[in-house]
Amino acid sequence: MLRLASGVPTINERPFHDHVEGCTDCQALVREGDDEDWRWIVRIPADTIGDELFSLPMVDPIVFGSPTELASGGMGRITRAFDRRLGREVAVKEMLDQGLRARFEREVWITARLQHPAIVPIYEAGTFPDGSTFYTMRLVPGRSLADAISEATTLEARLRLLPHVRAAAEAVAYAHSRGVIHRDLKPGNVLVGEFGETVVIDWGLAKQAGDADEDLPVRTSKPNLTRTGSVVGTPCFMSPSTAAGIPADTTDDVYALGAMLYNLLAGEPPYWDTASHESDALVAATVAGPPTPIAVRAPEAPEDLHAIVEHAMPRDNAAARTATQFIEELARFETGQLLVSRSYPLRELLVRWLRQHRLELTFAALAVVTAIVVGGLLLRLDRAGDELAIRERGGHLTHLYEDVARQAYVIDRDLLRLENALEGLTTAAAWALEGPDPSLEKIYFDSDFEAATTRPPDFTNQTTYRWDVSVEHPVVSVAPGVPREPLLPRIRRLVPLRHHMRDMVIAAAMRDDHRTLSPGEVTKLLLHRAGPIDYAYFDLPEGVHVMWPGIAALRRDYDVRTASFYQNSARERGRHWGAPYVDSTTDAEGDDLVLPCTKGVWSATGQLLGVAGVEMTVTKMLDTSMRMTKRMTLRVSLVDKDGRKVIDSSVANQKFSSNGRDEAIEFSPFDLPSVAAEIAAGHEGISETTRDGRPVVVAYVRLDAINWYYVVEVEAASLGAKQL
C-alpha cells in the first residue's frame, strides 16, 4: 500500500478500509501496531496525538476555486472563493506571516466560540500544503461601514447608518459576556450587507479577558491598518490607555464604539483634523490629549449623540462603562427618551415635554386661547401691557443666559488649549530627558540676560509683556546655593524644548486658523501674546527653572521649588489646575496674577523627573476670554464649585502684593450668597438678586475644564421694566 509523505492515504483507501473493517486479523494487527504508524486509518493527522485540541487539518487549495482578493490588513488577507465541496461562495482569510500562526489559530478558536448574528461565523479552518493557515467564513455581500460613512455626504445620510453602530455594539456586548475583548473595533471591521445585515469581523487581535497582552511583530505606518507590537489596535479608534501601551480591557472596546459613533457624526475619525495622518502621529495625538469635541466637529448632530460619544470616550478608564450601557443609551436616543449619561437644562426638558404632549397641548392651548380671548375683553389695557412686558423680559433673560453660556464655551476652549499644550510639553520633556543626547545649543542663564552683550540677539522691548523678552530662547535660572556645573548635561537636554514651546504657543494662538504665517507674522503673534498661553516652563527637582519667553527680570534669590504650582505636581501625579498665584519671579513684592496648569513628569521607576507648566495671566484673561463684548456688564467673576470667589473684573490691570514665594491666593466667599448657594449645589442658571442695594440679574455657567463657574452680573433694569 502507498502512503503520502504527510501520512494521508492514497486514492485507493476505500477498498482497504472496507477490508480492514471485515477482517479480524487486520483488526488485531492494528491494535498491536504503533499508534503513530496507523493513525491515518481513522483519518486524523499524526501530529494531533496527545494534544487537548486537534491541530488544524491540511486542505488541498484546489477545494477553493476562483479566488479574488477582497481586502488585506496588518495580519491577514481575505479572498472571495467558491467552495467546490458544498457549492457555495465563502470568504477565506489567510495569515500573511508564519510567525503569527499561533496568534492566527487563537483567532480561529476565539471567533468559533462566538455565536451571534452580528459576528461572522467560521465554517472551516485548516492549513494548505505550503504551511499557510486559513479559515473560511460566511461571505457577506456589501461594503464596510467605513465605506458607507465615506459615501454618505450629509449628516442626515450618515445618521441612517446609526442602526449598524448599535448592532456592532450588541455583538461586542455579547463577546464581553463571553470574556472576549476585540481590541480592534473600527468602521473598517464592520460589514454592512446588501439587506441590512451588520457583521463584526477581524477578531485577529481579540484576547480573553484577564490574559496578558502580547507583543506582535507586525507594524504599519498606514493609519487605516492595524498596528501591533507594544501598541495594539488602529489609530484614531484606540483609547488613550491603549495608545500608551496599557493592557486592554472591555472599556477600550467601548471607547472604540464611541470613536465609531464620532466617525459617523463628523464624517471623519477622531484626531483626523488635528494631527498628521501618519500612524505614529495619530497615536501620539491620542496620548497627548482629547480629540476636537464632537460638538465642534458635528454641531448639527443631536446633542444626545454628542453626550453618548463623550461618555464612551473619556481620557481614562476610571469610570466604569460597558457596551451594554452604550447600547441602552442609543436605544433611549432612538425612542426619544432621556439619556442616563447626560444632564439636561430645564429649557430642553421643557421642549421635550412639549413635543411628547403636543396633541394634548394643542387642545389645551385652544382652550387657553379661547379663555384668553374671552377674558381679554374684561381686562384693562394696562394689565395686558404688564403681561406683555413680563413675557418680553423672560425672553431677555433667556438671551442673556445664552450669551453667557456662549462666552463660557470660549473660556473653556482656551483652557482646553492649555491642557492640550501641557500634555504635549510633558511628552517632549520626558523624551528630552531620557532620549539621545541633543546637539549643543547656546544656554542663556539669568546672568546672561542681565548684560546687553550676552543677551539673545532677538531680545526686544517691542512687546506687550511687562518686560523685555526673547521669544527665541528661554531663560535658565538655578536656585541659590545649588552648583550649576553638575546640572549642565540635564540643562542641555532641556534647552531644545524652546522649539516645542514656541510651536505649541503658536498653535494655541492660531486656534482653528490653518493659515501658514510668515516669520514676521509669527514673531508679532508671540510678542503681542495673541494666544491663551503666556508662559511655558520646565523645572528640575534640583531647583532649575527653564522658562519661555526669556526675560531679564528673574530674581537671583528665586527658588521655583517653593512655588505652590511646583509643590502640587511634585506631590501628586496627574494634571493640576492650580489656584491663581501672585507671580514673584520678577519682583518679591508681587506682580501679576497668574493661572497655572502643571503636571509632573515621572520615570518608569517612579522617580520625579521634573514639573512642566503652562500659564495665562489673569489680567489678559479678564480682558479677552472673560469679557463680554456685546453686553454692558457690572462685573464678571470666576467662582469655584464651593461658591468661593476666585477672581473678578474689579482686579483688572491691578498689581498684586506677594510674600515672595509664588503662593496661591486665598479664595473668599462670593458676595452674592444666593448665587453662591446655587453654585455650591452644582446648579447652572440665572438668578435675580441685589448687590449694594441695586437689583441685578446674575447668570452662571460651569466651566468643564476646571470645574469653576463663569458668573456675569448685569443691571436688572437693562432687561426690561418688569421683574419676574
Asked whether 544 and 497 are in contact (CB, 8 A), the reply is: no
Of 115, 69, 118, residue with least CA distance to 92: 69
Burial class for 149, CB neighbours closer than 10 Å (0-12, 13-18, 19+)? buried
pLDDT of residue 215: 46
Residue in the block written with cell 449628516? 155
pLDDT-derived band at 356, boundaries 50, 70, 90: low
Tell me, what's the pLDDT at 260? 97
Give me the sheet containing 122-127, strands edge to edge: 64-72, 76-83, 88-95, 133-138, 122-127
Which carries the bigger pLDDT value, residue 586 or residue 609?
A: 609
Which positions ≥6 away from 143 have C-beta within 8 Å?
A: 191, 192
Q: Is the pLDDT of residue 722 over 80?
A: no
Q: What is the Cα–Cα distance from 394 to 388, expressed in whole angstroms?
A: 10
- The DSSP symbol for 555 reads -
Residue 35 is predicted with a pLDDT of 43
- What tens digit of pLDDT does each residue of 322-355 get? 999 999 999 988 888 888 877 777 666 665 656 5
Residue 624: partners with Cβ closer than 8 Å, 6 or more residues away:
none
**Residue 7 φ/ψ, nearest 5 degrees:** 90, 0
Please state the length of the chain: 724
- What is d(CA 535, CA 160) in angstroms, rounded to the nearest whole number? 47
User: What whole-number percentage of the chain has pLDDT above 70?
Assistant: 78
pLDDT at 511 over 50: yes
221-249 pLDDT, tens per residue? 455 545 444 566 889 999 998 888 888 88
* Alpha carbon distance 10, 14 (integer Å): 9
DSSP characters over 387-431: HHHHHHHHHHHHHHHHHHHHHHHHHHHHHHHHHHHHHHHHHHHHH
β-strands 644-648, 668-669 pairing: antiparallel
pLDDT at 441: 87
Cα(233)–Cα(190) distance, integer angstroms: 15
3-state secondary structure of 95: strand
Say yes or no to pLDDT of 471 above 90. yes
Q: How far is CA 134 from CA 49, 203, 220, in A?
A: 22, 14, 22
Contacts of 665 (CB under 8 A, 6+ apart): 579, 580, 581, 582, 593, 656
Alpha helices in 528-579 (DSSP H): 564-571
* Structure confidence at residue 357 as a pLDDT band (50, 70, 90): low
Exposure string for 614-652, b = 16+ CB within 10 A, e = fewer: bbbbbbbbbebbbebeeeebbbbbbbbeebbbbbbbeeb
Mean pLDDT of 27-54: 48
| DSSP state for residue 61 in the 8-state scheme | G
Count Cβ neighbours within 10 Å for each residue of 192-203 and write b for 16 or more, e otherwise: beeeebbbbbbb
The answer to whether 243 and 194 have CB atoms below 8 angstroms apart is: no
Contact criterion met (CB below 8 Å) for 626 and 636: yes
All cell numbers assigned to 22: 471485515
| % of the chain at pLDDT higher than 90 | 40
**Quick one: pLDDT at residue 212?**
65
Q: How confident is the model at residue 2 (pLDDT cuts 50, 70, 90)?
A: very low
The reported pLDDT for the residue numbered 136 is 94
Cross-strand pairs, 635: 713
- 129 band by pLDDT with thresholds 50, 70 and 90: confident
C-alpha cell at 441: 545649543
Bridge-partner residues for 575, per DSSP?
Answer: 599
Could you give the C-alpha distances from 478 to 330, 428, 432, 544, 649, in angstroms and in order?
56, 21, 19, 5, 36
CB atoms near residue 670 (< 10 Å): 26
| pLDDT for 361 | 55
Please give the backbone phi and psi of residue 637, each rounded to the nearest 5 degrees, phi first.
Answer: -145, 160
Would the pTM count as exceeding 0.85? no
Q: Answer whether 696's CB lies under 8 Å from 688's CB.
A: yes
**501-524 as b/e: b if 16+ CB within 10 A:** bbebbbbbbeeeeeeeeeeeebbe
pLDDT in tens, 537-589: 999 999 999 999 999 888 888 899 988 889 989 998 888 888 787 776 655 45
pLDDT at residue number 514: 74
- Under the banding of pLDDT at 50, 70 and 90, the label for residue 280 is confident
pLDDT at position 16 over 60: no
Helices 13-22 and 24-32 pack at an angle, to 10 degrees, of 100
Collapse the DSSP code of 449 into the 3-class scheme (helix H, G, I; strand E, B; otherwise coil) and give the result.
helix
Q: What is the mean pLDDT of the chain?
A: 81
| DSSP letter assigned to residue 653 | T
DSSP 209-248: TTSPP---S-----TTS-B-SSS-B-TTTS-HHHHTTPPP
